[in-house]
Amino acid sequence: FLLSLQLENKTRGRLQKQICQVVLDHFDKQYTKELGDTWTSVRDVLTCPLCWQYAVLVNKFSQSAELENTLRVRGYQPAFQGRLPYLPASLKCYTGRTPGRFPAQKHQAGKLKEYYLLNAASLLPVLALEVKDGEDVLDLCAAPGGKSVALLQCAYPGKFHCNEYDDLRSRWLKQTIESFIPDPLINLIMVTGLDGREIGNLKPELYDKVLVDAPCSNDRSWLFSSDTQQASHRLTQRKELSSLQFQLLRSAVKALRPGGSLVYSTCTFSKAENSDVINLIVDTCSNVTPEDISEMAKAVSQEFTFLSGMQQHELLVLPEKGRAWGPMYVAKLKKI
């Protein structure tokens, strides 16, 4: 108990971060316009890290009955209890109603971790992708690796290609995979550092499923930029992100086999990086059609709050107190 208390105090100390006023002012201006009255309640959660919640994704390759008992004793419940169109029994995730973070496990060479801490909403792109055994899968922007690990909890792909262009993040991705995936399976995973915009040309029509968890203006972390100059630079660069995201998506479409599905996700509320990018792809790629994910959204509506007025092929998770998940935008497309 004492150790648990120390860990919680340590976490609490870490969460007393400073809000970056430059970023908050920018968000207030943009999101009041885009989200309307909803922004007020979302803003309250985003600016209060002590309200944030963390889910625990159990690693099926290092399963421990003791871990699941501990989680239940601490008030965690299995997530995704609705009737989802796709929910493999091997994907086990626990969420707690109260804020706070379960203690993290350190990376130890040669030893698999038992669980991965994450924002529960980041599993929605994985569930939307519906990967089945034997399918060839590309995770185009894979670092830090949480969604790659979650995909492997769901199914055993034929080929699994994890790509991350940024060198530092690529090393982080490799370490995550080493921490969660056992040797026989790890040999089937190809990790590359290619420019995601080129993969479609390099590997045309090679994959059944593609995940594009795109580089975006990460609203949660940007709010706590410690360096005002860096924050201002990020906000200037923000205008260029939608162009990069569009190019990554176009590359992903080329890499997909006809009949294959693509899921696009970000952790921002920004319409320019979400719906606008998807609409542009649908308008300019005649071989792409939106795929309905409203059944999945309906099945998890008890656990997540969604922005209303979205189209059937997309959703946007809004954080609120007691369900502080998101932001997470998810859209699904099919290649015809």
* Binding-site residue ranges: 141-147, 164, 195, 213
Annotated binding site for S-adenosyl-L-methionine: 141-147, 164, 195, 213
Active site residue 267: yes
Question: Which entry of 154, 162, 267, 285 is annotated as an active-site residue?
Answer: 267
Query: 3-class secondary structure for the chain?
Result: CHHHHHHHHHHHHHHCCCCCHHHHHHHHHHHHHHHCCHHHHHHHHHCCHHHCECEEEECHHHCCHHHHHHHHHCCCEECCCCCCCCCCCCCEEEECCCCECCCCCCCECCECCCEEEECHHHHHHHHHHCCCCCCCEEECCCCCCHHHHHHHHHCCCCCEEEECCCHHHHHHHHHHHHHHCCHHHHCCEEEECCCCCCHHHHCCCCEEEEEEECCCCCHHHHCCCCCHHHHHHHHHHHHHHHHHHHHHHHHHHHHEEEEEEEEEEECCCCHHHCHHHHHHHHHHCCCEEECCCHHHHHHCCCCCCECCCCCCCEEEECCECCECCCCEEEEEEEEC
Catalytic residues: 267
